[in-house]
Amino acid sequence: MASAYTDNRFRSNAHTGPRATPTLPKGGLFSIYAETEIPTPAKFPYEALLDVRKYHEWNTYIIDVLITKHSNPHSRTLKMEQGTFMTFTVQMTPEERTSTKEVVRHLEPLKTRAANNSTTGKYVTRIRWTMDNAGILAPGFMLKTERVNEIEELEDGTTVYKTWLSFGGLGAKFVKKKYEKALQGKLSDFCHDLKRRSVQLQKKEEAERASQ
């Protein structure tokens, strides 16, 4: 997938053609892409993404998350992990709110230079979730989605966050017609919100350290 980044259209929010994902290797019918530079270490956007029960505090796109299945359901600090099932409440437009059921297919430990835990020389951490077709009783040939998140630690200690959401199946044509423009805006909003949240988390950590 990294080779696709040589194509400027892949990294353009204006381009909504197919983008490959592991479960949609041909990219489906259409996709939405967004990215942002985050002036914090990678651990802050990583922590913000995993702490789904606090999305309501900062996320204007996915405004609430209900964890419906987790390996440790009685924990008071439930966070996203591989295999987690979730229901997202999504603010699609100012007037329209909807919900989606998702399952986390892949979640990597955070890759950093300090941990020296990358075999490629690039410190890119990937998180992916897909539509829970069984949970919504809809077969994949009707509608299939996958969201890819990449958190890359740069040499200067800051972060680039990249994300894309691909749609396939017969129902993707309807989603594209009704929500394509809204999704372009919302995925960009997600990036800006994550950037703001990451800065807040860093400032909070620095304040706590200074008070000790």
**What CATH number is attached to the domain comprising 188?**
3.30.530.20
pTM of the model: 0.94
Q: Looking at residue 72, what is its pLDDT?
A: 87
Compute the average pLDDT of residues 36-44. Answer: 99
- In total, how many domains does the chain have? 1
Q: Above 90 in pLDDT, residue 8?
A: no
Q: Which domain holds residue 200?
A: 2-211
pLDDT at 212: 83
For the stretch 92-97, contacts whose Cβ atoms lie closer than 8 Å and that sit 24 or more positions apart, written own/partner, are 92/179, 92/182, 92/183, 92/186, 93/182, 97/63
